[in-house]
Structure 1
Amino acid sequence: MNPETAQVTHDFPPFFRVYDNGQIANTKNTILCPHLLTPKPASNPETSIYLPKTTAAGGKLPLIIYIHGGAFSIQSAFSSLYHYYINELASESGSIVVSIEYRLAPEHPILAFYYDSYAAIKWVDSHSRAGQGPDQWINEYADFERVYVAGDSAGANISHNMVIRGGFGFKFSGLILIHPFFGIGNPDKVWDFICPDTIGSHDLRLNPTADLDRLSKLGCERVLVCVAGNDNLRERGWNYYQKLKNTDWKGVVEFFETHGEVHVFHLFDLECENSTSLLKRIVNFIRG
C-alpha cells in the first residue's frame, strides 16, 4: 500500500493515530534531552537518575521512584518536559530520584508499560540489600526506609499498580498520585484500543476502586492524591481518595486540589504560583 494514500483508521488526539497500512504516528512530539540518552548496560532498565546538589557526607536521602505520564502512549523519562520537572523535585525535596522509562502503546505489547515499570523497580530494589546494586548513586545515597513512588496521569496509574502488586524487598513509605488517570467512569477509547484484551473500564488496573478489598491491601503507609479542578479526571481522583479513606487500609491518605487548573498544568509552567504550591505540597508529604 502506498503510504501517501494510507487512511486513518483510529485517531486519538493529541496522542496518536493509526493508519490502515499499520503505521502509527504520534500526534504530539516529545522533545528529548540528548545528554540523557547515554548507553546503559543491557541488564539495566532505562532510567534517568537525579541527585540534589547538596548531599551530606555519608548521609542517606529519601528515594523517589518517578513514573512519567502521557496516556501510556507519549512522553519519556528523557524528555525535556520531565527532565526540568524532576530536577525541581529532586532539588526541592532533597531526594534522589529514579525516573523510569517504559515502552509505549500501541507500538509495543499490551501492558508493556506495567511490565517495564515493575522490572525497573525490581532493579532499584537490587540496591536495597547491603548497597550492592549496580548504580553507585543509589548505593551511596538512597535510604530504603524512605522510598516513595510518584507519577502523574498514566504514570500515577502505573504507580498505584506497582504498590498494589508489591513483591519488593523494601516497603513503600508513600504513594504520590498527581492527576491520576483512572478513567472517567465511561468506556475509555484509548484504554480500550491499547488494552483490548482487558475488561475495559471495569478493569482493576484502570479502575482500582471497583474492588475495595483489594484496594485496602495497598502496600504503603501514606498516600497523597493531587487533582486539578478543571481536569475531567478530577472526579476519579477524588473517588479514589474517598474510597481508600473508608476501607480497612491502615494508612493515611491526603488530598490536595489545585482549583482552576487543567490536567498536568504544572509540567508546562514550573514557576507559576499554582505549580509552586503543588510542588511544595508534594515536598511536605515526602518530608513527613
Structure 2
Amino acid sequence: MATRDAEIIHDFRFFRVYKDGSVVVSNPTTDKKIPPSDDPNSRVRSKDIVISSEPAVSARVFVPGSANVTQKLPLLLYVHGGGFCMQSAFTPRYHYYVQTLVAEANIIAVSVEYGLFPDRPIPACYEDSWAALKYVASHVNGDGPEPWFNDHVDFGRVFIGGDSAGGNIAHNLAVRVGTDGLPEVKLVGVIMVHPFFGGTEDDQMWLCMCPENGGLDDPRMRPGKEHLARLGCERVLMFVAEKDHLFVVGKRYYEELKKSGWGGKAEIVENLGEEHCFHLRDLKYEKAVDLIKKYVSFLKKE
C-alpha cells in the first residue's frame, strides 16, 4: 500500500491520478440503474431514448400520465450532478427527483446521460448535453422522431436545470443558446442548485478533467462579465447551501451576473444550515420539499 500511495501524483476530492496515468474515482456510482416505466395508469410515465450513438448519448424522458395527445407543456432539460465523473440519469436518486418535478410542475422533462471523466474527459459533458438540447429542438415543427416531443412540448417554454456539476453545465448551455441561438425555441429560465463554479480547491480538479483548458479563468469554470451577459434566457433561479464549500462561489456568481449587463431577472435562495445537494438524499425532508416547491413555482410562473 505504501508503494501504491507513492505513485499518486494528484489526490482530488473525487479521484486520484497515478504516475502511470491511471485514474481511480474515489466513490464510483454503484447505485443500480432502474428501468423507466411507461405505464399509462401511472402519475408519471418515462422512457429512455438515444440522442447519439457516436458518441453514446442517451436520456430519460418523463411525461405526466395525465397528458393528453394535444396538450402542450413546458420542457425541462435536466443535467445531473456528480463532479463530472459520477452519477447517472438512471439511478434512483435522479430518476425519482426528476419524476417528482414532473408530477408537481406538470411538465415534460429530459434527463441527460452525458459522458463522464475519465472515460470521456471534459468537454464531453458540455457537448453531450448540448446535443441533447438540439435533439429536443429538432422536434419544433412536430415532425421529429420522438412522439412525446412532437405531441407535448411547448417550445416557447423551455427550461434548463441542474445541480452541482449539472448546474455548471446548465449555465454553459444557456450561454451557448445566447451565443449560437436555438431557432424557434424560447429558453425561459435556468435553475441551478448548489452549482459548481471556480474559486475553490476544486479548480485544479476541473482543470485535470479538462485537458484542453483555459486555466483558472476558463469561462466554463469561472465565467467573466462577457460570458455572463450572454445567458440566453430571461430568468435564473439559484440555490446555495450554507454548509456547502461552493456557497461562496455560488453567491459570487449571482452578484456578478446582476452586474454583467445581462437583461434578465435573477433570484437566489440560501438553504441555511444545509450541506451540498441535501435535497437529493430525502425528497420528503421538510427543506427538500420547500426547495422543490420553489423550483416548481419558478417553472410554472408565466
1:199 to 214, 217, 231: 214
Aligned to 1:76: 88
Provide structure 1 residue ranges, at least 5 long, that are not aligned to the other structure: none
Corresponding residue to 2:150 among 131, 136, 139: 139
- What SS class does the counterpart of residue 266 from structure 2 fall into? strand
Q: 2:270 aligns with which of 227, 233, 257?
A: 257
Give the C-alpha shift of residue 198 in structure 1: 1.4
- 1:19 and 2:18 correspond: yes
Per-residue CA distance 1:103-150 (angstroms, 9 max, x = gap): 11122244111111111111111111x111111111111111110000
Where does residue 235 of structure 1 map in the other structure? 248
The one-letter code matched in structure 2 to 1:146 is R
Amino acid at match of 2:227: R
Q: Which residue of 1 aligns with 2:194?
A: 179
Deviations 1:18-76 (A, max 9, x none): 33444433221321324259684738830010112222452111100000111111111
Matches of 2:221 and 2:99, distance apart in 1: 29
- SS of match in other structure, 1:205: coil
Q: Deviations over 1:202-259 (max 9, x none)?
A: 1111111x2x133112110111011111111111111121122223222111111110
**Identity, % of aligned pairs?**
43
Pick from 157, 161, 165 the counterpart of residue 150 of structure 1: 161
Deviations 1:182-204 (A, max 9, x none): 02356722112112431332111
The question of whether the paired residues in 1 share the 8 Å contact of 2:75 and 2:108 is answered with yes
Summarize the Cα distance change of 1:88–1:245 in structure 2 as closer, same or farther, 3 Å threshold.
same
- Name 1:28's counterpart in structure 2: 27
1:104 maps to 2:116: yes
TM-score normalised per structure 2: 0.86
1:225 equivalent in alignment to 2:238: yes
Are the aligned partners of 1:71 and 1:154 in contact in 2 as well (CA < 8 Å)?
yes
| Alpha-carbon separation, structure 1, partners of 2:174 and 2:197 | 15
2:35 is matched by which residue type in structure 1?
Answer: H
What is the correspondence of 1:117-136 to structure 2 with a 5 Å cutoff? 117-128=129-140, 130-136=141-147
Structure 1 residues 283 and 39 mapped into 2: Cα distance closer, same or farther (>3 Å)? closer
CA contact (8 A) 1:188 1:200 kept: no
Please point out which of 35, 53, 74 is paired with 1:62: 74
Matched, 1:216 2:229: yes
Structure 1 contact 185–201 (Cα < 8 Å) conserved: no
Select between 41-50 and 215-224 the one with higher mean Cα deviation: 41-50
Q: Is the 8 A contact 2:69 2:151 kept in 1?
A: no
Stretches (4+) displaced over 6 A: none
Instruction: Tell me how far apart the structure 2 counterparts of residues 257 and 56 of structure 1 sit (CA, whole Å).
Output: 37
Give unmatched runs, 5+ long, in structure 2: 37-46
Please give the secondary structure, in 2, of the residue aligned with 1:51: strand
So what's the TM-score if we normalise by structure 1? 0.90
Distance 1:39 1:90 in 2: 17
> Greater CA deviation, 141-150 or 34-43?
34-43
